[in-house]
Each structure stands twice: as structure tokens, then as C-alpha cells.
Chain A
Amino acid sequence: MRFKFLTIFAAVALLAACETAPDESASGSGTGDTGGATATSTTTSTAPSTMKQMGPVPGSQEDLIVNVGDRVFFDFDKFSLGADARATLAKQAAWLQKFPSVSVTVEGHCDERGTREYNLALGERRANSVKDYLVALGVNPGRVTTISYGEERPVALGSNESAWAQNRRGVTAVTGGAGS
């Protein structure tokens, strides 16, 4: 099942010289998560407005956000990957294979409903869940580093269930070789 996804997305990636559509990306990741996340991303490294017309630079963070989805979400106090998360990561793995010079850091984040130190450990687990899945899909582990921010860097500011769900996340951030 997992590998079927992989081949499908790998094929898409190979074909997709001109992938379109935030739409497709959002539906591809199965929920509205990616759409919301794109709007509130803190990890966009390059998004000059002049590039908007021609779309994101291939292999850039913006490319990852718009065309693949840069983040996955976790249940409360969990670090296992659900079907939506696995689908997003399959796309990320394919994208990473398309841009072999790109290296990434996976950030693990938690909501505020835990204690600080435990959340640092939980964020580390989440980041490594993401990394391990990417590696299992063929990404060279040397291209993926991890960092936990615990509950220190929420994207959604509210103290409510929907904000907490957005904050329990693993974010893949391009750290090297981006689109250059």
C-alpha cells in the first residue's frame, strides 16, 4: 500500500515538470491541513513577490510548501504517522529525490498542553518519525537533520483545539541546495 503510493507519487514527480495547483497539493495530502499550514508557515525561506508570477523556484521551500506540503500533523501526545501524514511524506520523498542537492531539517513541534521538557522529547520523536519515514522511502539519511522545538514555536496562536492540532506538527524545512 505504502509502496503503491510511493510509485504513484514518484511517477507524478517524474512527469511533473509543470505541476500545478495548490489545490492538487491540498487534496493530495488529504485534509485542509496543508492549505492552512501554507498560509501560516514560518519556515518560508524565499518567497519574493516577483517570483509569484512564474511560481516557486523548483527545489525551494516555497516549492515544497506549494506543490508538496511541508508539514504533517500528529494526534495529541502521539508521534505515529497517520495516513494523511504518510501521503504527504511520500510526496516529500519523491520531491527530495527530484532535487538530490536539497538537504532538509525536520522540525518537531508540540502543542502547549504538555510540560516543556517532555514536549522537547516528544518533538524530537515527531521529527524522527518524519525523518525515518523519508529514509524508508529512499531518502539518504545524510540529507535529513532533525530539531525539536517542543512547544516553543506554535504556528497557530490560539489556546483551543484547532490551534493545538495545527501546532502538533513535523515541518520539513529546506536548509541547503535550495533551487540553486
Chain B
Amino acid sequence: MLTLSTTLRIRPFRLQAWAVLAVAWALALGAAHQARAELRIDITRGTVEPMPIAVSTFNADVPQDQAIGRDIAQVIAADLERSGLFAPVDSKAFIQRDLSVNTMPRFGDWRVINAQALVQGRVTRTADGGIRVVFRLWDVFAEEQMTALAFRSVAEGWRRLAHIIADRVYERITGESGYFDTRVVYIAESGPADRRKKRLAVMDQDGANHKFLTDGSYLVLTPRFSPTLQEITYLSYYNNTPRVYIFNIDTGHQELLGNFPGMTFAPRFSPDGKKVIMSMAKDGNTEIYTMDLRTRAVRKLTNHSAIDTSPSYSPDARRIVFNSDRGGSQQLYVMDANGGGVQRISYGQGRYATPVWSPRGDLVAFTKIQGGRFFIGVMRPDGSGERLLAEDFNIEAPTWSPNGRVLMYFRTTPRDDQGNGGSSKLYSIDLTGHNEREIITPIDASDPAWSPLIQ
């Protein structure tokens, strides 16, 4: 049983703080075991027909909990739908209206509406006023239970529970880890282009729980999540001095990172969260440095008269991909973590920028500029297998979902001479190049960065 402790608050994030009792919730419901191919989506294929799935309202005994049960089902269905891999069946089509977690579904009723999988659940109250949520995932055609779990949380934690359940469903059916229980930090934008107000903002990956973190009184750019803590590293023009800062989401505390003699920018955390790698520009020359967050020791990794920027570690922290114009134009290079062994990896037409190593290690995502158009693409870390996933007037700055299957980026539309028409919005797209979706934000948005899966 997976139990979430009562420390869960309105914006629960640290799963490691929760007591976790993870045992498959094996109610002996005696599902028929038929020899049959398991229900499965292969997400490595280009176009997959979304799998019809029924997500039934989680039932409950009292109206307050019934509302939570409805909301949970809606969040699960929305997560699964946005992934492009699932097609939730309209609940109006449901035939069986008396699902119970204690009895087998009438599978025939679900087959008739062509649901291949069924998610059901129940919400009850715990003695301390929290909620207990159980769910089951069924393979409708095999008439088998695929997974079942129970969770406990404070009542306000229902939305996060819904994301966690959606992740379990995604994992069980695709065989890949999910990415719904995650957040996105980004730059919220407003105002005319020449006086653009930019604020640090954070939200759940589906746009819920939106929060501004800075007030816009100074320019902020390029935030990135820590892999381990509720921290963001970003560029701030506080005091009109562009430097890398660290922002703690829990406390709101902002800290200047180091005491560098020039502009520091393009920060990212190392995979273990113990270092920040970034660029520093001094006397016009931009090099890549690391800073150890504990000892504050600074190390210079590049030494070249060219621009060296946008560094990103491989997930094993042994290599770094970065952007340099040392060959005459912006290209992607890989070097060892100590700065040695520099190799150019991009050789296609055009300029390449903003490389980001996939959390799976298998790919590098980038922005490409060619012929006056911008592209989002991926290539293997040795430069082979380049694939372009999206193209537009201006799209930029991909960030990986923690399972390495989805990219998010931003798209800017052109302005006329009066500055009208320019908008900036976030989008996500499958690694296959399909299923591009807008991520709805309250105002314009840029520079998204995906959090790791919440631990």
C-alpha cells in the first residue's frame, strides 16, 4: 500500500518526506487469467493510435468526497489524453454506473463502448480528516487487473494523487516511467517588446497550481530546476547586474551564486544537484565554468576566444554538451566533464544552439536556425541521427520530460512594426514529432524547464 503521510500540504512536493508503504494492493478479486497478449502501448513508434481508456469517476459516500472523486478522474483523464497515447472515452457513453472497487467490473459493458482499459477508484475519509484513495486499472478485454494501489493524503493533496495515479497507469501500459507528477518553471511575460516584463513562475505540468515567484521589477531569464531540491537556478538582472542566482521555491529565498567579475548566465544543475554549470563573460569572452554549491570552488572548463555557452551535463555527469561558435558559426560540441576531449557533433546546415542532454542519455535536444526558420530537433550524442520535430518562425529552448519522451519549448510569433501580434507560448511535443500541445499559461510564457519526477 502506498501511503502519503499527513505532512502533505497545499503544495506537496517532497515525496521522500512521505511515509511510503508500497505494496501492490492485492485484493483477491479472482480476475480471470487468460493467456493473452498484455495490454501495451509501444511509445517508441511514430504514430500510435491512442488507446481508448475509460476513467470512471472515483466513487465516495459523501458529497464532499464525491466531488474529489470526480476531480481526480478528470485530472487522470486529462493527463492521459494530453500524452497523445490515450483517448479517454466520454463518460456519457459509460454503461456500467455502479462500479465498485470491491467487485469485478462488468467487462462486457466496457467492451461495448470499446474501452480497452478501465480506471476506477474510491475516495474515503481517514480518521484525521485526510483522504484515502484506492484505484484499480483493468485490462478490459483480458478481464484482468493490471495494477491496484491505495494512497493516503490530506484532502488538498487530491490533485497530486491524481497525477501519481496517471503516472502509474502510463507506466503500467507503456512500460516507461511517467511524467505527470512534475512541475514546470518558466518565464511569464507581459507588456510591449521593448519594455517586456519577465517574471519567474512555476506550475504543475498541466498548468494547475500556477504561481509567480518574482514580481517583474527586474529581468529574469532561463530558469532550470534542481534535480534534487526545490530550487531553481536562473539569470537575474537584479541591480542591473546580470548574474546567476538560486531561488528556493519553498522559502522564496534568492541567493547570488558566487562573486564573478563578469556576467554569469546559462546555468544548469549537474545531475546530482551539487554543482551549477554556467557561462561567464569577461571582457567580451564567454567561457564555461562549474561551481560546487557546497565548497563554492569554481572551475573553468573551456579556454577559447569563441563563445562557449549553454552547457548541459549527460545524465551520468561524465560529459557536457555545449554551444560554441569556435568553428565560425554556432554548433554543438561535447567535452569530458573536466573540459578535455572537445568534439563537434553538429554538422548539418544552419546554426545549432541550446543543447540539452536527455535524462535517458540517448539524445541531445537542440534549437536549430536555418534559412530564417527555427527548428526543435534531436540527435544522438555522437551527432548522428538528427531529426527535426517542429519548425516555425521562432521556436526555441527545448526541455525534457523526466522520462525523456516529451519535449517542451516556446514559440514566439512575429510582430508588426507597432509591436502588435507578438505572443510567446509553451508547447510540448512527443519525441516522435507528433502530438504537439499548447501548455496553457495565464499570460505569455517562455524558457520552460521541466522538473524531475517528484521523489
| A98 CB contacts on chain B under 8 angstroms | none
A120 to B220, CA, bound (A): 13
- A129 — nearest CB in chain B belongs to which residue? B284
- A125 — nearest CB in chain B belongs to which residue? B284
A173 to B367, CA, bound (A): 33
Minimum CB–CB distance for B219 against chain A, Å: 6
B396 with A120: CB separation less than 8 A: no
| A116 CB contacts on chain B under 8 angstroms | 221-222, 354, 396-397, 447
A163 with B310: CB separation less than 8 A: no
Q: Which of A7-15, A30-38, A89-97, A153-161 contacts B (4 or more CB under 8 A)?
A: A153-161
Q: Which of B65-73, B94-102, B413-421 contacts A (4 or more CB under 8 A)?
A: B413-421
| B192 CB contacts on chain A under 8 angstroms | 157
Please judge, given known A-B contacts A117-B310, A125-B284, A160-B417, whether A152 and B219 are in contact too, CB under 8 Å: yes
B307 with A122: CB separation less than 8 A: yes
A80 to B283, CA, bound (A): 15
B194 with A154: CB separation less than 8 A: yes
B354 with A115: CB separation less than 8 A: yes
A42 with B194: CB separation less than 8 A: yes
| A146 CB contacts on chain B under 8 angstroms | 284
**Counting chain A CB atoms within 10 Å of each CB, which of B198, B281, B329, B418 scores highest?**
B281
B367 with A120: CB separation less than 8 A: no
A-facing residues in B363-398 (Cβ within 8 Å): 367, 369, 372, 393-394, 396-397
B-facing residues in A125-162 (Cβ within 8 Å): 125, 127-129, 132, 146-148, 150, 152-160
Chain A 51-84 interface mask (CB, 8 Å, partner B; 1/0) = 0000000000000000000000000010100000
| A147 CB contacts on chain B under 8 angstroms | 240-242, 263
| B330 CB contacts on chain A under 8 angstroms | 114-115, 118
Interface residues on B, range: 35 or more
| A165 CB contacts on chain B under 8 angstroms | none
Minimum CB–CB distance for B287 against chain A, Å: 10
| B372 CB contacts on chain A under 8 angstroms | 113
Minimum CB–CB distance for A94 against chain B, Å: 23
Question: B54 an interface residue at 8 Å Cβ cutoff?
Answer: no
A134 to B222, CA, bound (A): 32
- B447 — nearest CB in chain A belongs to which residue? A116
Question: B196 an interface residue at 8 Å Cβ cutoff?
Answer: yes
B416 with A158: CB separation less than 8 A: yes
| A124 CB contacts on chain B under 8 angstroms | 262-263, 281, 284, 286
A-facing residues in B389-409 (Cβ within 8 Å): 393-394, 396-397
Minimum CB–CB distance for B31 against chain A, Å: 53
Chain B 215-228 interface mask (CB, 8 Å, partner A; 1/0) = 00001011000000
B266 with A117: CB separation less than 8 A: yes
**Counting chain B CB atoms within 10 Å of each CB, which of A121, A147, A148, A157 scores highest?**
A121
B284 with A117: CB separation less than 8 A: no
| A112 CB contacts on chain B under 8 angstroms | 394, 412
| B232 CB contacts on chain A under 8 angstroms | none
| A160 CB contacts on chain B under 8 angstroms | 417
Minimum CB–CB distance for A10 against chain B, Å: 26
B194 with A115: CB separation less than 8 A: no
A22 to B417, CA, bound (A): 24
Minimum CB–CB distance for A40 against chain B, Å: 8
| B394 CB contacts on chain A under 8 angstroms | 112-113
A116 to B394, CA, bound (A): 11
- B265 — nearest CB in chain A belongs to which residue? A120
B281 with A148: CB separation less than 8 A: yes
B-facing residues in A94-120 (Cβ within 8 Å): 112-118, 120
A158 with B242: CB separation less than 8 A: no
A-facing residues in B247-271 (Cβ within 8 Å): 262-263, 265-266
Please judge, given known A-B contacts A116-B447, A121-B281, A129-B284, whether A159 and B310 are in contact too, CB under 8 Å: no
| B279 CB contacts on chain A under 8 angstroms | 117, 121
Minimum CB–CB distance for A123 against chain B, Å: 9
**Counting chain B CB atoms within 10 Å of each CB, which of A116, A125, A157, A158 scores highest?**
A116
* Complex A-B: 21 CB contacts under 8 Å: A79-B284, A115-B323, A115-B353, A116-B396, A116-B447, A117-B222, A117-B310, A117-B354, A118-B330, A121-B307, A124-B263, A124-B286, A127-B284, A128-B284, A147-B241, A157-B194, A157-B422, A158-B415, A158-B418, A159-B414, A159-B415
Residues of B within 8 A of A (CB): 192-194, 196, 198, 219, 221-222, 235, 240-242, 262-263, 265-266, 279, 281, 283-286, 307, 309-310, 323, 325, 329-330, 353-354, 367, 369, 372, 393-394, 396-397, 412, 414-419, 422, 447
Residues of A within 8 A of B (CB): 42, 77, 79, 112-118, 120-122, 124-125, 127-129, 132, 146-148, 150, 152-160, 163
Task: Give 8 A-B pairs besides A115-B396, A124-B286, A147-B242 with Cβ atoms closer than 8 angstroms.
Answer: A115-B323, A115-B397, A118-B353, A121-B281, A124-B284, A148-B281, A157-B419, A158-B415
